[in-house]
Amino acid sequence: MSDEVLRFEELTVDFTVGGTTQRAVDGVSFGVRAGEVLAVVGESGSGKSVTALAALGLLPSNARAGGRISFGGADVLEMSRAELTALRGRRIAMIFQDPSGALDPVFTIGAQLVEMIRTHQPSLSRGAARERAIELLRMVEIPENRLKYYPHQLSGGQCQRVMIAIALACDPELLIADEPTTALDVTVQQEVLDVLLAMRSKISGAIMIITHDMGVVADVADRVVVMRKGAVVETADVHELFDHPTQEYTQALLDAVPRGGPRESTSVDADVAALRIDDLVVEYRGRRGRTVQAVGHVDLLLNPGEVVGLVGESGSGKSTIGKAVLGLAPITSGEVHVAGQALTSSSASDLRKTRARIGVVFQNPAGSLNPRGTIGQSVGEPLAVHGGVRGAELRRRVEELLDSVELPGAWAGRYPHELSGGQRQRVSIARAISLDPGLLIADEPTSALDVSVQATVLELLRSLQDRLHFACLFISHDLAVVDQVCDRVAVMSQGRLVEQGDRESVLRAPQDPYTVRLLEAAPVPDPREQSRRRGLRLAG
């Protein structure tokens, strides 16, 4: 194992919070070989990020590490502050998940690049450092006039590329990338991964990439370490792992990745559409009297019992459509009909009745459930407000609803913080279906969840939809998820609907170039397919 740049040996990390100690990493051993891209995969709480932070001596002060992290013949855990400072950035560099938060907001990106260069090469003059900064920016495909820009003036993808430029400034022996593309849109993710991999030929070092996304693993990795609950489950070559996973957990993780599947189309008896959107325009007033068009002339139809996926990247206007249907976004022109009722011309009391027929599930269940109310109160509130249900009858109905989302009825007295993310999202779903809605709006309902949890929540949504036959507007950025649950798909880009149709035709034979790009950018959990696509893309 002499070709290993970095080796974790029986690494343990304990966190002490309020007097109790918890083990986050429990005897992890693996190595990163020179020149390779090693992916460390796992769900939240698997200890993958903590392991990476330990390699740089960046653990928070309430953490204690044991074992050994060998790097260049020394043990990182034994290093003094001065030795660590000499190691960080110069020999091991790191980039983080949230690129806009990882740059100091009050300095220009040029200043931050120059700072990095001059810290590690103090002999370089200011001018020479600036030259080098420009060269680095060019390497990550950012024009040199951006040198004077502040982080908030750049997009998330650009910020991440700046972070890569900073990380690579000193040609480190190892680059650790902690979920480098998780916060980014899929097409931007592809650009960043491309830049990252292009660096591979330019630097001598190895790359350790931490991710929860099997598609990203298949796209970039040579070898894979699978982690779960602070321990290594499996270490294997990427092809071997995807073809013949030896561990049950790895298999489960791969199975949980949504791949789409056959879904019988629901019989449609379209007397009154569940949702009809005609020529909808939503404009917000921007600064200096300028208006920003969030949604421009969109037509969309949802038949009763139909699940329509609304797909797009951030800023495409997909969530705004959901908000407009709920009356949370201003309808500038056009009309929205919910079960035949026009929203803009309805009286306030009619609107209330119409809204009672719409269920909503938001992305972040932690934020959409009242933290000071029990989940029973959250689920029962619509019944009490709109249905006038009280007392024992209300309790019975709440238990029934919790039961239908596969949570014990006795949990009605618990608070949201006592539940996991997936359980909370089940509560949100129970609340959304409490009034037996004709229309359910699900805005990124699984984006905040781990992939295995996501799979179970999606399954629940589908089985509920089969049973209750509500129409569902499923808003998502994740094509694979949409593929799994939707009958029809509508694709949005920059406020406009670029394509819509049957799931099969849109996702298998896309017509619009944007849809094509989106589909190709989404990494699939298949290393061979990913390397074929990458080859095609780089060939031009």
Partner 1 sequence: MARFTIRRLIELVLVFFGVTFAIYAAVFALPGDPISSLGGDQPLSPAVVERIRNLYHLNDPLWSQYLRYLGHLLTGDLGVDFRGRSVAERLASRWPVTIRLALTAWVIQVVIGVGLGLVAGLRKNTWIDRGVLILTILIASVPIFVMAVTAQLVFGVKLSLLPIAGVTDGWPTSYLLPATVLAIYGLAAVARLTRGSVVDTMSSDFVRALWAKGLSRRRVIGVHVLRNSAIPVLTYLAIDLGALLGGAVVTEGIFNLPGVGQLLFESIRVHEGPTVVGIATALILIFLLTSLVVDLLNSLLDPRIRHD
Chain positions contacting partner 1, by CB under 8 A: 56, 58, 81, 85-90, 93-96, 98, 101-108, 115-116, 119-120, 150, 152-153, 163, 166
Rounded CA separation 228/444 (Å): 25
Half-sphere exposure of residue 274: CA atoms within 13 angstroms, side-chain side: 22
Rounded CA separation 65/75 (Å): 12
CB of 149 to partner 1, least distance (A): 9
- Dihedral of CA atoms 518, 523, 529, 533 in degrees, nearest 10, equals 50
Max distance between CA atoms of the chain, in angstroms, equals 78
CB of 143 to partner 1, least distance (A): 19
Q: Helix H segments across 212-347? A: 214-220, 238-243, 248-256, 318-326
Half-sphere exposure of residue 337: CA atoms within 13 angstroms, side-chain side: 15
CB of 453 to partner 1, least distance (A): 25
Q: Is 18 left (phi over 0), alpha (psi -120 to 50) or beta?
A: left
Strand arrangement, sheet containing 358-361: 358-361, 439-443, 471-476, 307-311, 488-493, 496-502
Of 86 and 328, CB closest to partner 1 = 86
Of 285 and 528, CB closest to partner 1 = 285
CB of 147 to partner 1, least distance (A): 14
Structure tokens at 15: 């966190």
Of 172 and 437, CB closest to partner 1 = 172
Of 152 and 537, CB closest to partner 1 = 152
* 244-264 b/e (C-beta count within 10 Å ≥ 16 → b): ebeeebbeebbebbbebeeee
CB of 103 to partner 1, least distance (A): 6
* 347-373 b/e (C-beta count within 10 Å ≥ 16 → b): eeeeeeebbebbbbbbbbbeebbeeee
Of 21 and 333, CB closest to partner 1 = 21
CB of 151 to partner 1, least distance (A): 8
CB of 109 to partner 1, least distance (A): 11
Of 90 and 239, CB closest to partner 1 = 90
CB of 94 to partner 1, least distance (A): 4
Rounded CA separation 49/240 (Å): 24
**Residue count (the chain):** 540
Of 59 and 195, CB closest to partner 1 = 59
Of 87 and 379, CB closest to partner 1 = 87
